[in-house]
A and B are shown apart, each in its own frame.
Chain A
Amino acid sequence: MDIPVKIADGIAIAAIPVDELDAGNADEFKRDIGPVLQAHSKIIFDLTRLTFIDSSGLGAMLSSLRQLSARGGDLKLCGMSKQVRDLFELVRMHRIFDIYAACQEAVKAFQAK
């Protein structure tokens, strides 16, 4: 999948280009986000377009977080819909990820450091 990345102030904002991230496209996402994870250390996933995510999609997010953390980088999430947020809370991943409602807040959080 083609993942558009905007870079501002050393922070990479990757907009997830699909409405639904499930077991059918999670592997594709993991593959295509790989280069982005390699190239930057401050990354924000903009989930504004995402209306549905399942355990596989969640696993792909976790995989991204762990890859980035292993290299000393950091990942933040923003623009979550209610349904997506509900799943994160159901499996307690809202404690593992930094989640912001608006993407501007995520950018500010990176700049504040």
Chain B
Amino acid sequence: MDGAKIFSRYLSAILGIAAVIAICVLLRVHLNETAVAFAVALVVILVTALILALMGANQRLRLALEREAEIGFRIQQMLLLDPPPHDVPGIKIAAMSMPSQRIDGDFYIFIRHSAECLDVIVGDVMGKGVPAALVGAATKSHFLRALIELMAASEDGLIPQPKDIVMTAHASLARRLIELDSFVTLIYARFERRQCVAQLVDCGHTGMIRWRAKTKSCEWLRGDNLPLGVRENEIYEQVDAAFDPGDLLLFYSDGITEARAPSGELFGVDRLENFISSHAGLDPDDLVQAIRAAVAEFSQDERLSDDLTSVALRIEEKTVPLLHSEMEIDSDLKNLHRTREFVREFCRKLPSEWIAGECVGGMELAVNEAASNIMKHAYRGRPHEWIHLEADAYPAEVVMRLTHFGEPFSPAAAEPPRFDGSRESGFGTYIINKCVDQVRYYRDEHGRNCVELKKFRKPVT
């Protein structure tokens, strides 16, 4: 029963008793003390019962709202906030979003067109709660549809320009947003790693902060387009910006700059700029967490009044790979020799002396062991499952990556090998760690499990 119904029922009872008493007084009916005491006691009991019933109803309502908010938060994390890709050569990306009321309309999308071309879309829907999240989800799907339509229509196979994607998405979105009385601020950024150029379409969003490695200072990149859903036939313009290895780029929501301290002071853009300048050495993952901590400390309030979202990218020295090769195999143990041939073939194609002879043998063994682990353990011996093998050679390192859909491997769970000959198994992981310089187990943005093996190049004397 909701609070209103409870209240009205009890109130009727109390008013009824009050009316009886009033009538008795008016008619000068003699009420002896016992009757009066009885009537008063009855009123007190009813009032107390009313209060308790209201409290109970409130409690149930609160729990129901919390449960729904929790579900909403998880939906947002799963569907609106893409996990940033981890293996884009030359770009390290991290993203963070903390909605103020457990769910809101912030979203980010990462689209990888190729090894050299990455699109990042960061959006903020006006409003809060589930309605904003729904508009966010719809906006996201309109953008993806616009991209698909433009790519299908592209005659020369070129990827459509960001401004065209924004305009196409807006064409179908604008009317609906206007009717819903909602709008979306958004920034669409395309990073062309080879030419070191970013193309930006800023639709009323906060712009992008760039910390330049050359000058060790921050710059702002902003457009002056309107947000989506304000004017139906708005033309969206694009801005180009060059970037260099070492640069740090940040997209953020105004929840950060508009956070208030208890004194009423705003966090502001200057403070954010200074924060980035003084933390420019951090990895993007650490930077987005540090920003969140800084805002929480500044506002002295764990419960934020507005959502915090930030996406950070660092451009790395790494250039596009010198050589790339890939292959797919079934998880049949009889295919192990193919992984070894793949490694030998790849290393053979590299310039002579690129990688020393025994390093090739070590890499071959490491890839063999990693593949063997996937076949035997991740896939539990099932021979018809998918394994993808990829090799990249960079100026400073050679990277081999195995991708699979089997169970993820946890290095911590692997027992250390026994060197006294008392155990026949358990050498695989040890061998891998000894043969290459860096091993990483992670999940990629498609939810697949990856094993990445890196061998750093030492200059050959």
Interface residues of A (CB under 8 A from B): 20, 22-24, 52, 54-56, 58-60, 62-63, 65-66, 83, 86-87, 90-93, 95-96
Instruction: Provide the bound-state CA to CA distance between A65 and B422, in Å.
Output: 10
Instruction: Provide the bound-state CA to CA distance between A92 and B361, in Å.
Output: 18
**CB-based contact B421/A96 at 8 Å:** yes
B247 beta carbon closer than 8 Å to chain A:
no
Residues of B within 8 A of A58 (CB): 424, 427
Instruction: Provide the bound-state CA to CA distance between A87 and B362, in Å.
Output: 9
Please report which residues of chain B, range 82-110, place their CB below 8 angstroms from some CB of chain A when the two chains form the complex. none
**CB-based contact A92/B419 at 8 Å:** yes
Instruction: Provide the bound-state CA to CA distance between A59 and B421, in Å.
Output: 9
Please report which residues of chain B, range 321-336, place their CB below 8 angstroms from some CB of chain A when the two chains form the complex. 332-336
Identify B334's interface contact among A24, A83, A92, CB under 8 A: A24
Distance in angstroms from B423 CB to nearest chain A CB is: 8
**CB-based contact A55/B333 at 8 Å:** no
**CB-based contact A23/B336 at 8 Å:** yes
**Which residue of chain A has its CB nearest to the CB of B335?**
A24
Interface hub of B365, B369, B430 (most chain A Cβ within 10 A): B365
**Which residue of chain A has its CB nearest to the CB of B332?**
A24
Instruction: Provide the bound-state CA to CA distance between A96 and B423, in Å.
Output: 12
Residues of B within 8 A of A52 (CB): 340, 364
**CB-based contact B431/A22 at 8 Å:** no
Interface size on B, residues (CB 8 A): 28
Distance in angstroms from B121 CB to nearest chain A CB is: 44
**CB-based contact A23/B333 at 8 Å:** yes
Interface string of B334-352 (1 = CB under 8 A from A): 1111001000000000000
**Which residue of chain A has its CB nearest to the CB of B376?**
A23
Interface residues of B (CB under 8 A from A): 332-337, 340, 358, 361, 364-365, 368-369, 372, 375-376, 417, 419-421, 424-425, 427-428, 430-431, 434-435
Contacts A22-B336, A83-B361 given; does A62 touch B421 at CB 8 Å: yes
Pairs of residues from A and B, 10 with the lowest C-beta to C-beta distance, nearest first: A59-B424, A96-B421, A24-B333, A55-B427, A92-B419, A23-B372, A24-B334, A62-B424, A55-B428, A23-B333
**Which residue of chain B has its CB nearest to the CB of A19?**
B337
Instruction: Provide the bound-state CA to CA distance between A13 and B372, in Å.
Output: 30
Residues of B within 8 A of A66 (CB): 421, 424
Residues of A within 8 A of B434 (CB): 90
Residues of A within 8 A of B420 (CB): 96
**CB-based contact B369/A54 at 8 Å:** yes
Interface hub of A20, A52, A56 (most chain B Cβ within 10 A): A56
Interface hub of A22, A55, A93 (most chain B Cβ within 10 A): A55
Given contacts A52-B364, A91-B419, A93-B419, 8 further A-B contacts (CB under 8 A): A22-B336, A23-B336, A24-B337, A58-B427, A62-B424, A65-B421, A90-B431, A96-B419
Instruction: Provide the bound-state CA to CA distance between A20 and B428, in Å.
Output: 17
Residues of B within 8 A of A59 (CB): 424-425, 427
